Amino acid sequence: MSSEEELKEFSISKDQKEEEPVHKEPESESRGDVDEEEEEGSIKDDRPLLKSSDNSSSEKPTSTTEASSIPPTHPSITAENIRELEKKFAAYVRKDVYGTMGRGELPLIEKFLLGIAFVTIVPIRVIVGFVLLVLYYLICRLLTLRIIPNQEDGQEDYAHMIGWRRVVIVQCGRFLSRAMLFNFGFYWINESNPSNSTGLEKLGTESEDKQQSQESERPGAIISNHVSYLDILYHMSSSFPSFVAKRSVAKLPLVGLISKCLGCVYVQRESKSSESKGVSGVVTERVLEAHQNNLAPMMMLFPEGTTTNGDYLLPFKTGAFLSKAPVLPVILRYPYQRFSPAWDTISGVRHVILLLCQFVNHIEVVRLPVYYPSEQEKEDPKLYASNVRKLMACEGNLVLSDIALAEKRIYHAALNGFLAQS
């Protein structure tokens, strides 16, 4: 069933379909590794965290998005409709105690604990987090003085730096990223490195001599499932790779310079032909460079293109596999009891506040052996991507899902409409 048919089925109006980003033209395969989470989490959310059930029925939606989700001339979206969507779009369903989009009704004791944390732990964590961010910005600013950034292919970064300056930027970045995770309640990181993967037999036949020679080759990219913006902090603390980001990130205060020191590849969403090589060409070159040069930063790619609730693995875009270089698969999980750190169907501000209110958070990491593509996989990026995905799903106990970003937007629109009328 197409996206338009889904929306018609659940009575989303034609006017809304023009306003909501549901039918935005899909990114091409080569641009599929770009993270979409900032756009998804930017929907305005004015509902209080500690909303009482007594006054919930009298509240009217204050958000333009919420108000337009259910036009008065169309039938309302029902709880049954939402349950049907949850079955189809299970990869985006939020299952923690805070309920749908983090707006569920909470027991009195939960509200009390949340209120205590909000006035005690949250201010401390906000201040410490800001200090860590400013400190690393100052380090990057000092070490990039009189250094001309690389501006090839429409990019701007300091990934080409070598020597002691680069060492200080990398080591301080790794340490402060880990400190930031600690500040957010991730006191321990449970990492495992299975030596033998049992999930997928490699296609093709290769001699033992060739296999032994491959073992010394460096992967060109890290391939990871995408659960939250916290994934970036973990990978920075672990290997300090380069990411793919929106071009607007380069202009952000503090974060912009840090992203340049990471060597991010920037994407101009408004213009698909703004760069001569295109994003896929730049990413492919960077992956090959990292594969061949031990001093070059590896690329960190999220081939799903968006975040999930952490239990599923979406189809992989092929942009991460065009270089034919070996990759390092990494699987992230966020076990939880009350609040899930997954950034699935919850606004960014609400997610940050609830995350900071939780005293202890957990993260589990499975770092698989380097995946060396067969000759058949090198000639077929879709096969390469599919096999890596199957391996990660098997080793990480993840469920393969065939939905993507378009379905996530449908689910968001339906949830906003349902909650707007409640």
Three-class DSSP labels, 106-135 = CCHHHHHHHHHHHHHHHHHHHHHHHHHHHH
What percentage of the chain reaches a pLDDT higher than 70? Answer: 74
pLDDT value of residue 422: 63
> What is the Cα–Cα distance from 203 to 333, expressed in whole angstroms?
28
pLDDT value of residue 75: 54
The CA distances from residue 264 to 250, 287, 301, 382, 415, in Å, are 9, 12, 11, 24, 33
Q: pLDDT confidence of 20, banded at 50, 70, 90?
A: very low
pLDDT value of residue 290: 92
Average pLDDT, the chain: 80
Handedness of CA 311, 315, 320, 324 (dihedral sign): positive
pLDDT value of residue 56: 39
Lowest-confidence segment of 63-77, 329-343, 350-364 by average pLDDT:
63-77
Residues counted in the chain: 422
pLDDT value of residue 317: 93
> Of 305, 283, 187, 176, which is closest to residue 233 (Cα–Cα)?
176
Helix (H) or strand (E) holding 18: helix 14-19
pTM greater than 0.75 (yes/no): yes
Most confidently modeled range among 55-64, 179-188, 278-287: 179-188
Task: Return the SS3 of 274.
Answer: coil
Q: How far is CA 269 from the centre of its chain?
A: 17
Strand partners, 189: 363
State the average pLDDT over residues 200-224.
Answer: 61
Q: pLDDT confidence of 307, banded at 50, 70, 90?
A: very high
pLDDT value of residue 64: 38
> What is the Cα–Cα distance from 334 to 342, expressed in whole angstroms?
7
First-last CA distance in the chain: 28
